[in-house]
């Protein structure tokens, strides 16, 4: 066992989000994601086989879910559970600071 920190420095902002797998089992995967002004590419939608519970630990983000009129505004401490195959996309993340997410993917 080795302790780690969810707010550990990630690489300087890159063209892609920084994603780090923290734990994986047959039924569950936990990831730390760091965004810095990132968004899903135009026309791209996530459509995942697993459910995803995600929380914003730091920063701000905006998610769009297929079939919803308005995007979800997420800030520090806000979380959402996204059922499998609910199409969604990241519309915006704070361009001025890191947005740190904790995502739990499960069956």
As for how many domains the chain has, the answer is 1
Residue 60 lies in a domain: yes
Mean pLDDT of the chain: 95
Please indicate, yes or no, if residue 26 is contained in any of the structural domains: yes
Assigned domain for 5 exists: no
Q: CATH code at 40?
A: 2.60.120.10
7, part of any domain: no
Tell me if 4 is assigned to some domain. Answer: no
Burial of 86 (0-12, 13-18, 19+ CB in 10 A): middle
| Contact of 30 with 73, CB cutoff 8 Å | no
Does 79 fall in a domain? yes
Percent of the residues in the chain that have a pLDDT greater than 90, as a whole number: 90
The answer to whether the predicted template modeling score (pTM) of the entire model surpasses 0.85 is: yes
User: Is residue 1 assigned to a domain?
Assistant: no
Residue 6 domain-assigned? no
* Structural domain that includes position 74: 18-106
pLDDT in tens, 82-101: 999 999 999 999 999 999 99
Q: DSSP assignment of 56-71, as one string?
A: EEES-EEEEETT-SSP
| 34-64 residues labelled b (16+ CB within 10 A) or e (exposed) | bbbebbbeeeeeeeeeeebebebbbbbbbbb
Q: What is the pLDDT of residues 39-57, one digit of tens each?
A: 999 999 999 999 999 999 9
């Amino acid at each position: 066992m080795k302790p780690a920190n969810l707010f550990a420095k990630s690489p300087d902002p890159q063209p892609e989000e920084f994603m780090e797998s923290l734990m994986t089992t047959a039924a569950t995967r936990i990831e730390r994601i760091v965004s810095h002004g990132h968004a899903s590419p135009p026309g791209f939608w996530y459509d995942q086989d697993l459910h995803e519970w995600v929380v914003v630990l730091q920063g701000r983000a905006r998610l769009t879910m297929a079939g919803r009129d308005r995007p979800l505004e997420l800030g520090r401490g806000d979380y959402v559970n996204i059922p499998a195959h609910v199409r969604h996309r990241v519309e915006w993340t704070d361009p001025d600071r890191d947005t740190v997410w904790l995502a739990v993917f499960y069956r």
